[in-house]
Amino acid sequence: MQTMWNDEAMRGVEALERGEGVVEVRGVEYDSRRVGPGDVFVAMRGGATDGNRFIAGAVERGAAVVVTDSRVVWEAARVDFPGTPFYLVEHGRRALAEVSANVFGHPERTLALSAVTGTNGKTTTSYLLESMLRSVGRTCVLVGTIEYHVGDAVRVSPHTTPESRDVLELFADGVKAGAMEAVMEMSSHALEQERVWGMPVDVAMFTNLTQDHLDYHGTMEAYFAAKARLFEGVGTVVPRVAVINVDDAYGERLVGMARHSQVVTYGLERGDFRAEQVRMRAGETLFRMVTPEGALEMRSPLTGRVNVYNLLAASAAAHARGLTLEQIVAGAAAGAQVPGRFQVVASGESGVTVVVDYAHTDDALRNLIALARELAAEHGGRVITLFGCGGDRDRTKRPRMGRAAGEGSDLVVLTSDNPRSEEPMAIIEEALVGVHETGTTCIVEEDRAGAIEIAIRAAGPGDIVLIAGKGHEKVQILRDGTVPFDDVAVAAGVLKEIVS
């Protein structure tokens, strides 16, 4: 961050009222607990809390300037904080983005940003694209669900799409490290809440849309509208290139809506980028990628048809960023395993394949089970699926997930998965309705560690055990707090006991 005057920090911000005074600005924050001397504090109303409640604390910590989206607060500020310049804005989050861009030196103008949205596949697609870009020597910033990357440095990811201030700080660090590319997951929440305001997207990707987050969006149309904002430009120009999955019904609609961008489509059997002669086995997927510039053999260490989609999306985006088809194929082959995405747990000599995956919607669960069924069939094995449903989230998907698990599995183990403020057994009962409709045998075990042990010990040689829902997560979120929990570690412990 650079030191500047408050009028420079506020450049481009549409303020309804402007405070008097000239002060030095050294940073920007939206969390009053992180404010230091010389910072601009942006107080904005949010879904869970109102930052305007914490202005006094921010000023006590040294805030040099306060931006508020509350006229009541602004009126009172002249009496309560006479020495601090206050600015009144209509949109707090937009102001946060604009001030942050000024303070961090507009790194978004240096980086070519590729952004991916959709219900499933965002994380894997973003990892694949980053891998392809890095394979040709491009330094990247990655912002996503599992972790953040700034060049070779890896940082913890508290949010899939953080607030604009934090994104721009990552971007600024990336520019200092020599980055010219950024790859970013954009969630529907972030798009609707304008956490990505003013960030120009060069290549936008759409993976698919299935039921999720209706506790927040209310309807599928509202959910789709939030995703579609990426292709409209959130406070900036529309993306130069729109990469869209036309095997998805919402993707087909989006093609017509993205007419001001160069549209590149993909799908298994149709689209500008498509797949032929798909062959799969555990730890490897091969297919012939057909493109407008020719066809090449694609090989990836990722497994499954869903990853064929992810590979096609990343390939189309990489091509839009200037990579040749040969470079794309080489980058895909070198791609590393994405944590918690069809992650195979070492099983020693047990003969059982245990897979940990993030699938937490009925569509993702159905795709995961279909892949496991295809792989298990080679050895005449069964598919055992363990899953749970998150608390304080869309309740309507719980029986749908139960049906998806029951329809494709030989045995279902139903357990707890981040129940949050809800009673775990109440959530389980709602999912159990869907499983019972299929007639598949189901074992209920509220304790997730105990459930993992039950699922693995029920398996025999050739069977595949799917542990779905948490993937890369390392905690279980309960009513009384958050406790450490790692599906991979628990499963590995059980497998070690079995073979010892």
Under 8 Å between Cβ of 320 and 243: yes
277 is in an annotated binding site: no
- CA 486 from chain centre, in angstroms, equals 19
Q: Is 470 labelled a binding residue?
A: no
Q: How many CA atoms lie within 13 A of 472 on its CB side?
A: 15
- The DSSP symbol for 13 reads -
* pLDDT tens across the length of the chain (500 residues): 678 889 999 999 999 999 888 999 999 999 999 999 999 999 998 767 899 999 999 999 999 999 999 999 999 987 899 989 999 999 999 999 999 999 999 999 999 999 999 998 999 999 999 999 999 999 999 998 889 999 999 998 877 678 999 999 999 999 999 999 999 999 988 999 999 999 999 999 999 998 766 666 579 899 999 999 999 999 999 999 999 999 999 999 999 999 899 999 999 999 999 999 999 877 789 999 999 999 999 999 998 888 999 999 999 999 999 999 999 999 999 876 788 888 889 887 788 999 999 999 998 899 899 989 988 987 899 999 999 999 998 899 999 999 999 999 999 999 999 999 999 999 999 999 999 999 999 999 999 999 999 999 999 999 999 999 999 899 999 999 999 999 999 999 999 998 76
Beta carbons within 10 angstroms of residue 339's beta carbon: 18
Give dist(CA 398, CA 417) in Å, integer. Answer: 12
- Alpha-carbon distance of 362 to 395, in angstroms, equals 12
Q: Is 49 annotated as a binding residue?
A: no
Residue partners of 215: CB distance under 8 A and separation at least 6: 392, 393, 394, 395
Distance CA 206, CA 469 (A): 22
Class of domain 107-333: alpha beta
Helical segments of 303-377, H only: 305-320, 325-333, 362-377
| Residue 6 CA: distances (Å) to CA of 52, 84, 210, 344, 363 | 20, 11, 45, 53, 49
Class of domain 4-103: alpha beta
Q: Is 119 annotated as belonging to a binding site?
A: yes
DSSP state of 54: G
Residue 265 is labelled as binding a ligand: no
Cα(first)–Cα(last) distance of the chain, in Å? Answer: 55
Is 236 annotated in a binding site? The answer is no
421 annotated binding-site participant? no
Is 291 one of the annotated binding-site residues? no
Q: Where are the domains of the chain?
A: 4-103, 107-333, 343-499
Distance (Å, rounded) from C-alpha 13 to C-alpha 59? 21
CATH 3.40.50.300 correct for 343-499: no
What are the φ/ψ torsions at residue 210 (nearest 5 degrees)? -130, 170
* CB neighbour list of residue 481: distance below 8 Å, 6 or more residues apart: none
279 is in an annotated binding site: no
Q: Does 120 carry a binding-site annotation?
A: yes
Identity of residue 404: A
Annotated ligand binding at 187? The verdict is: yes
CA 335 to chain centroid, in Å, comes to 18
- Is there a binding annotation on residue 26? no
245/228 Cα distance (integer angstroms): 13
At 241, which amino acid appears?
A: V
The pTM (predicted TM-score) of the whole model is: 0.85
Judge whether 161 is annotated as a binding position: yes
Residue 419 annotated as part of some ligand binding site: yes
C-alpha dihedral (267, 247, 159, 475), degrees to nearest 10 = -90
